[in-house]
Amino acid sequence: MQVGPNEPAIQAEPVTATQSDPQVGSLTGHTQPEQSATEIADSSPARPLTLLERARENPLLPSFLLIGGVMLMIVIMFRSLKKNHSTRATRDRNTGSPAERIAEIHERAQSSMAPANKAMLDAEEITRRLSAQLDNKAARLELLLEEADAKLSELNRVLAGAERSANRSIPPRSPDPLYAASQDDRMPAPRTLDPSLLDRARMDQDLAERGSMHTTPPSQMSTGSAQDQINERILRLADDGLGCIEIARSLNQPVGQVELVLNLRKSS
């Protein structure tokens, strides 16, 4: 086909083979080169790398991780030590100085010993009361023994007087000469008392006992008056505000006697 001089020549557009049109390349005779694995990897969409892949790419990553873990543990230990130190300081401030702690321990010991001390004081009080009661009973027993001795001596005196009066009232018998000769080396015959004389002796004894019951011997009267004076002095000292022990020391009397007098006064 010929082209005139006045008409521009029509140029054929070259057909280039693109990567997306392989058929055109085959028609034109141009073949597309094959892509490598790295180009395919670069052209593929990016995805996040795992820690193992990063460790493979960077051999220093495990060392960094180890150092970071050690530093984290050191920080945690320092924080715990600081917390313990602050707690200990707070406890020391609350407890105070060693002298105050010793005083507190002493007070606790004293408070724990208070029940034992109270029990000991109660036991001492009970012991003192029992000793006072025993002293009073011993004093009463001595008085009863003295009264018994006095009554026994009076009875012996009355019996002796009755026996003497009976002996005087019995006339002597005239012994039989034959019987007396046969009984020279033997015991004398037993004596017999007149029943009327025995009745009279018993009446005298009853009268003497009744008189001793109504009349008080001078020694007992003096003893009673002295005891009354001591009791009056005990009461006066108690009114003045003195205790039982002080009164007993000042009067040289047993504590039980003083407590007995004061208790009798309270009961009356």
- Read off the pLDDT band of 35 (50, 70, 90): very low
Running DSSP on this structure, what letter comes out for residue 32?
P
| pLDDT tens per residue across span 161-184 | 777 777 766 555 555 554 445 555
Does 60 score more than 70 pLDDT?
yes
Q: What is the pLDDT of residue 234?
A: 86
Give me the torsion for CA of 59, 61, 67, 73, rounded to 10°.
-140
In a domain, 261, yes or no: yes
Lowest mean pLDDT among 32-41, 53-62, 159-168: 32-41
In a domain, 258, yes or no: yes
In a domain, 229, yes or no: yes
In a domain, 172, yes or no: no
In a domain, 120, yes or no: no
In a domain, 231, yes or no: yes
Between 67 and 111, the higher pLDDT residue: 67
Average pLDDT taken over every residue of the chain: 69
In a domain, 83, yes or no: no
Q: At what angle do helices 218-239 and 244-251 cross, to 10 degrees?
A: 140
In a domain, 250, yes or no: yes
For the chain, give the percent of residues with pLDDT over 70: 54
| pLDDT tens per residue across span 77-94 | 999 898 888 887 777 666
> Contact at 8 Å (CB) between 32 and 25?
yes
Total domain count, the chain: 1
Alpha carbon distance 223, 189 (integer Å): 49
pTM: 0.26
Helix spans in the chain (H): 22-28, 37-43, 51-57, 61-95, 98-169, 177-182, 195-214, 218-239, 244-251, 255-267
What domain range includes position 263? 224-268
Alpha carbon distance 197, 145 (integer Å): 31
